Each structure stands twice: as C-alpha cells, then as structure tokens.
Amino acid sequence: MVVVTDSELFKAIPRMAKHFVSAQVRRFSSDQKAETLAWLEAQ
C-alpha cells in the first residue's frame, strides 16, 4: 500500500498501519514520483 501526500498528518500512517494490516505500507511525498513508482513495481 502506498500513501502519496505532503501532509504532516500522514507521516505516522506506516507505523500505525502495521498494527492493522499485513501489507507493507510506505509513505512518499508528492515530489517522489520516481521513487514511488519504483517501489510499486518492485512489489
């Protein structure tokens, strides 16, 4: 699961999500498009 946001509120999402889902969760800022796509393709 990927969250793309610049909101400071969502920085904690990956840490919180691991308690509720077994999926790997990553957060990327909107200026990290290449990194986001690379991570998604590797999954």
| Interval 24-40: pLDDT, tens | 878 898 899 999 999 99
Cβ-count burial of 33 within 10 angstroms (0-12 exposed, 13-18 middle, 19+ buried)?
A: exposed
| pTM for the whole structure | 0.58
- Boundaries of every domain in the chain: 2-42
Q: According to the model, what pLDDT value does residue 4 have?
A: 83
Structure-token pair, residue 28 = 């990327």
